[in-house]
Each structure stands twice: as structure tokens, then as C-alpha cells.
Amino acid sequence: MTFGGRRLGAFSRTIPTHMAPIGPFARMLAQVIVPVVAVLARAIPAAYGQALTNARKAGVDATEAAAPVFGRVIPRSEALSVLNITEQDLEKDPGIVQKQFERYFEANDVSKGGSFYLQSKIFRANELLLREFQQDKQQPGSSSSSSSSSTASSTKNNKKQ
């Protein structure tokens, strides 16, 4: 090998003093990559911070936003929407939850060409509303009707089947 034009050993080869053609290309590539990485290193945390700010403005807590989608409890408004029930309908006849559940659950039966996803949404909506009925029933001084308790018991039977 040569170092500075000198040979270092009898069996070593000489190292070329000029750079290979890849050298200028690598330098140009580095000149492009380094600023891009620097911009991304600043932009990604800023974008994440902005997303959290927007979520807070929308009323979403950071822990709720970071929570996994699976195992999430649907909001009451979504449950009513899935079962196509309004608050007024629910106040008039709490048994409408069970009627709508049976109607939509059977209409989306997978064996009849329905959607398992929609069946799951319908089931979870029914489950949430029944849980609320049971909590209202357990609280002293709540005005629960007999139809809400019959709705709760009939849905328990559906879960077992």
C-alpha cells in the first residue's frame, strides 16, 4: 500500500490517489439529504403538537386520542344514530331500543348477505344503551319504566343465544 505516494509493504497494492466517480454523487446526495432530514426533524414534532392542539379544541383529551380504537366504547349519540333512534323516541318508548336492535341485527345477518361489521356496531350500540338503562335503574330516585327493564332482560337473552 502507498500512503502519500509511498509504498508501505512488499505485498501491498497501491491505493489510487483520485476519487472514484461515486464520490461527487455521494456528496451531492448528502447535500440534499441533510437539509431534508433537518426540516423533517423540526416539522414532525410541530405537526404532532398542532394535531394535539386541534384535538383539544375539538374536546378530545390527549389520552383519549392516543387510546386504541379497539375496545373503545361508542358515544351515546353514535349509539342512537346506529339504531336510528332519537332522544324523543327513547323517552316515549324505551322498548324501541330492543325493537330497532332486532330489526337491524336481523337485516344485517351475515348468512343473508349482511355485514358483520354493521352487526357489531348494532350490537355495541344496543349494549351501551342497555347499560345506561341498567345504571339508571340502579340509581335511587331515577325514573325508569318497566319497559326499560324488560328491554334489558330481553337483550340479555339475545346475548346468550
Question: What is the pLDDT at residue 102?
Answer: 93
Q: Is 141 left (phi over 0), alpha (psi -120 to 50) or beta?
A: left
Confidence of residue 56 (pLDDT cuts 50, 70, 90): confident
Give yes or no for residue 13 having a pLDDT over 80.
Answer: no
Percentage of the chain lying above the pLDDT 70 cut? 66
Cβ neighbours for 52, distance < 8 A, ≥ 6 positions apart: 62, 65
Question: What is the pLDDT at residue 137?
Answer: 82
> What is the overall mean pLDDT for the chain?
76
Alpha carbons 152 and 86: distance in angstroms, whole number? 19
CATH fold group of domain 76-160: Helix Hairpins (1.10.287)
Question: What is the pLDDT at residue 3?
Answer: 54
pTM exceeds 0.85, yes or no: no
**CA nearest 126: which of 118, 136, 138?**
118
- Top pLDDT among 132 and 142 is at 132
